[in-house]
A and B are shown apart, each in its own frame.
Chain A
Amino acid sequence: MKIETININNNINTYKATEDTQYILQMDTSNNKYKSINEISIDFILAKEDVNLQIIGPMIIREEQNIKISIQVKHMVPNTSCEVLIKSVIFPHSSLDFLGRIYIDNHSRNTTASLKDNSLLIGEGARKYSRPVLEIHNNEVKASHGSASGNIDPLSLYYLQSRGLNKSQSENILIEGFLDDLINRINDRGIRDKLIKELKFKEKEPII
């Protein structure tokens, strides 16, 4: 499977895949990149048969930044599949506005499409807007999506603290756990390691 990284920036990007590809969304970690109003749009078009896409997007939004992003996958031919996996961790007074649209046109029989968009809202003022959209015009398909948002499970947090970790350490572990399955899906070791390093929160770094 081909691997391609996509930088989340303030443009409209269109990708027409001609072979099985894993796209990895990467946030710009330079300071305050997402402080001003932004609208990011990324379109994926499947116009060639027998192509499978994976779109993986780990997102950490902090320091009062706000991201508005739309991801669209358009299936125009038969026998294609897509899997969109977006997991975001949103810190106090930051927000994510996510539109994830899967469009399957009339000709696209034997399509499999799924979209998952899960967010952790850490602390007061964290906000998530989500619009997962399905537009299906063929019946020989399997299409599904799921979206969830909420805080870290209080019971898990309590458990870790009862084992001797302080609150900030416990939260870090649970956040890493939340993103774990997403990161393990990334096929490129280099990118994976880089991400793990970026996501490793300094031990005493206060979260809230």
Chain B
Amino acid sequence: MPGEARRGLSRQVVEEISSLKNEPKWMRDYRLKSFAYFTEKEIPDWGPDLSKVDFNDICYYLKPLDKEKRDWNEVPEKIKKTFEVLGIPQAERDYLAGVKAQYDSEVAYSSLQKEAEEEGVIFLSMDQALKKYPSLVQEHFGKLIPFSDNKFSALNSAVWSGGSFVYIPKGVKVKRPLQAYFRLNARNMGQFERTLIIADENSFAHYIEGCTAPVYSADSLHAAVVEVYVKKNARLRYTTIQNWSGDVYNLVTKRAGVEENGVMEWVDGNLGSRVTMKYPSCYLIGKGARGEMLSLSYAGENQNQDAGAKMVHLAPNTSSIIVSKSVSQKGGVSSYRGLVEMSPIAYNSKSHVECDALILDSKSFSNTYPVMRNNNNTSYIEHEASVSKVSDEKIFYLMSRGLSKSEAMGLIVSGFIEPIIKDLSMEYAVELNNLINMEMEGSVG
């Protein structure tokens, strides 16, 4: 029935999704294989509690206008306040808050698209790419993250919809960041996005998704999959700022395969969601490849941010660096979970990991679960982590210079996360600092 949201997952639903999209047979078969695997595989027995995720209470495919909308009156005060603080224009507020189903971003989007096209870059939705460039997609789809990787990549592989496809041709260095934000509208957004990025030899691009503003989602489960191919001598930077509001379980699988002398940079900001499990990884396949991860997590009331990174060194002369900063308060739980592995053939390679956590009150938790496996004696792995609170002396000093207690806290937390912020583009940096200051006001009781 039109307008009625259909809930629950079955083989039939998967088949319908594929036929509604008019997909080639190989994709349809892939979805069905993935679905079979999904039903067999258990949810992970480690990490945050996922027992409340009800796979049958989810709408797996909706037309845009079927999406639930809510009244502006129903939008929580805190979200309205955040929009104020961030200076979000009204039209965007309606969309972000779930009051409007569609955001008329066509104007912004099409001019960005034109710029990209002029440089030869292909930047489309995943659905469109499957139609327009089927062999390019088939060559790369599901090769870095097979459906069998984990339960949620299997789910995504079965019901994926939306997401971006980006191809940067050989030698092209894209001048302006490729923004996924403006492509958001209810059809493409959220739930089961599937993104595939291919940076061909000697190319460079910066891809940005998400936004600092809290985004309302009626969906309780987001299981996205992102595959990035960095070919020889190419460089790709992928920035995500996630601030899903509400009771979202954000369970994402992101992986990059980096070839000879390639560089992959993940910049990850986790601000929202009830539960996040996200460990962007780099498989350093070619010699001289490099992986970098800058991760920032904020865990407030009722939030559990379980994030980190994986760097797998599979060739000589590879290097990686992971910098993770987390802040937890009001009972929030923030965990770093990471892996650095040197395979027996990863000669002369190095990895450096730093994780720092700030716990702002005694209700909150901070955990660090790093794993290091060094199988090559010519390679170096170093890891350091620290957990602390904001020192009373620092607060006292700043207050003696005239700042209020919450301003002092805000300044110190901003300083703590500065190494990550300075690598974000300016708009994000400013918004993030505003958000932090807003959170600090609530923390001083």
Binding site for B on A (CB under 8 A): 106, 109, 119, 121-151
Q: Report the number of A-B residue pairs with Cβ-Cβ less than 8 Å.
A: 110
Report the Cα distance A183→B411, complex, angstroms: 43
Given A132-B383, A136-B359, A140-B362: A149 in contact with B389 (beta carbons within 8 A)? no
Q: Report the nearest A residue to B384, measured CB to CB.
A: A146
| B387: Cβ under 8 A from any A Cβ | yes
Asked if residues B387 and A149 are in contact (CB atoms below 8 Å), the reply is no
**Please, which residues of chain A bring their CB within 8 A of the CB of B273?**
none
Chain B contacts for A132, CB-based, 8 A = 368, 370, 383, 385
Looking across the interface, which residue of chain B has its beta carbon closest to that of A107? B362
The number of residues on chain B lying at the interface, defined by a beta carbon within 8 Å of a beta carbon of chain A, is 30
- The digit string for B281-312, where 1 denotes a CB below 8 A from any CB of A, is 00000000000000000000000000000000
Residue B364 is within 8 A (CB to CB) of chain A in the complex: yes
| Of the residues B360, B374, B385, B388, contact of A149 by C-beta under 8 Å | B374
From 349 to 388 in chain B, residues with beta carbon under 8 angstroms from any chain A beta carbon are 357, 359-362, 364-375, 377-388
Task: Determine if A128 and B372 form an interchain contact, defined as CB atoms under 8 angstroms apart.
Answer: yes
Residue of A nearest to B328 (CB): A139
Which residue of chain B is the closest to A150 with respect to CB atoms? B380
Which B residues from 107 to 153 make CB contacts under 8 A with A? none
Contacts of B365 in A (CB 8 A): 135-137
| A-B contact list, 26 entries, CB within 8 Å | A129-B371, A129-B374, A130-B372, A130-B383, A131-B371, A131-B372, A132-B370, A133-B369, A133-B370, A134-B366, A136-B359, A136-B367, A141-B387, A141-B389, A142-B387, A143-B387, A143-B388, A144-B386, A145-B368, A145-B384, A147-B370, A149-B374, A149-B381, A150-B374, A150-B379, A151-B378
Task: Determine the distance from Cα of A203 to Cα of B389 in the docked complex, in whole angstroms.
Answer: 50
A148/B383 in contact, CB under 8 A? yes
CB within 8 Å of A: which of B338-358? 357
Main SS at interface, chain A: strand
Cα distance A142–B381 when bound, in Å? Answer: 24
- Chain B residues within 8 Å of A138, by CB: 359, 362
What are the residues of chain A within 8 A of B385 when measuring CB–CB? 132, 134, 144-146
Question: Closest CB-CB distance, A131 to chain B, in whole Å?
Answer: 5
Given A121-B374, A136-B359, A148-B383, A141 and B367 contact (CB-CB distance below 8 Å): no
| A142 and B388 within 8 A (CB) | yes
Q: Do the beta carbons of A136 and B383 come within 8 Å of each other?
A: no
CA distance A130 to B357 in the complex (A): 20
Cβ contacts under 8 Å, A147 to chain B: 370, 372, 381-384
Which residues of chain A are near B370, meaning CB under 8 Å?
A: 130-133, 147
Least CB distance, B7 to chain A, in whole angstroms: 37
Interface residues of B in 364-419 (CB under 8 A from A): 364-375, 377-389
B residues in contact (CB < 8 Å) with A: 357, 359-362, 364-375, 377-389
CA distance A126 to B388 in the complex (A): 35
What residue of chain A has the Cβ atom nearest to residue B353's Cβ? A147
| Closest 6 A/B residue pairs (Cβ) | A150-B380, A121-B377, A139-B359, A144-B386, A148-B382, A139-B389
> CB < 8 Å: which of A119, A125, A130, A134 contacts B368?
A134
- Could you say which residues of chain B place their CB within 8 Å of the CB of A144? 384-387
Q: Closest A residue to B340 by CB, please name it.
A: A130
Please tell me if the beta carbons of B377 and A123 are within 8 angstroms of each other in the complex: yes
> A146: which of B361, B371, B383 is its contact (CB, 8 Å)?
B383
Decide if B377 touches A143 in the complex (CB within 8 Å).
no
Taking a contact as CB atoms closer than 8 A, the residue among A106, A124, A125, A134 that contacts B362 in the complex is A106
Nearest opposing residue in chain A for B350, CB measure: A150
List the A side residues contacting B387 at CB < 8 Å.
134, 136, 141-144
Task: Determine which of A126, A135, A145, A146 lies in contact with B377 in the assembled complex, contact meaning CB atoms within 8 Å.
Answer: A126
- Give Cα distance in the complex from A151 to B376, angstroms: 9
Known: A135-B367, A145-B384, A150-B377. 15 other contacts (CB 8 A): A129-B373, A131-B369, A132-B370, A134-B367, A135-B365, A139-B364, A140-B362, A141-B389, A142-B387, A143-B386, A143-B387, A144-B384, A147-B383, A150-B379, A150-B380
Across the interface, which residues of A come within 8 angstroms of B381, CB to CB? 130, 147-150
A133 near B368 with CB under 8 A, answer yes
Asked if B389 and A148 make an inter-chain contact with CB atoms under 8 angstroms apart, the answer reads: no
- Report Cα–Cα, A133/B368, bound state, in Å: 5
CA distance A177 to B359 in the complex (A): 37
A127 touches B362 (CB 8 A): no
* Among A119, A127, A146, A150, contact of B375 (Cβ-Cβ < 8 Å): A127
Q: How far is the CB of B317 from chain A (nearest CB, A)?
A: 15
Tell me the minimal C-beta distance from B130 to chain A in angstroms. 41
User: Are B388 and A129 in contact, with the CB atoms below 8 A?
Assistant: no
Given contacts A131-B369, A140-B389, contact A109 B383 (CB under 8 A): no
Contact residues in B for A130 (Cβ distance below 8 Å): 370-374, 381, 383
Contact of B380 among A127, A134, A149 (CB under 8 A): A149
Question: With a CB–CB cut-off of 8 A, which chain B residues contact A123?
Answer: 377
The chain A residue sitting closest to B336, CB to CB, is: A134
Nearest-neighbor residue (CB-CB) of B368 within chain A: A134
Give Cα A59–Cα B77 distance, bound, in whole angstroms: 58
Known: A146-B383, A150-B379. A136 touches B366 (CB 8 A): yes
